[in-house]
Structure 1
């Protein structure tokens, strides 16, 4: 798994599905993750 400490990721569609899984994976690898979605409460 590639270490992403020091990087910033912007994930759209982050409330569910592939977007949510991608956000969790990026965060687990050390990236600072910004989440966006049309649904409120993300």
Structure 2
């Protein structure tokens, strides 16, 4: 999943930023790690 979102973010960074923002609200540590992994190329 992280790789797919990372690829989407390359063409649509505003979409990825919105997804990441929503996912980080009250996120457990494992989700925070996933979002950081998704944003690695941003």
Whether the TM-score (by the shorter chain) exceeds 0.5 is no
Sort the TM-score into its range (normalised by shorter chain).
Answer: 0.3 to 0.5
**Which gives a bigger RCO, structure 1 or 2 (Cα 8 Å, sep 6+)?**
2
Bigger Cα Rg: 1
Higher strand content, 1 or 2: 1
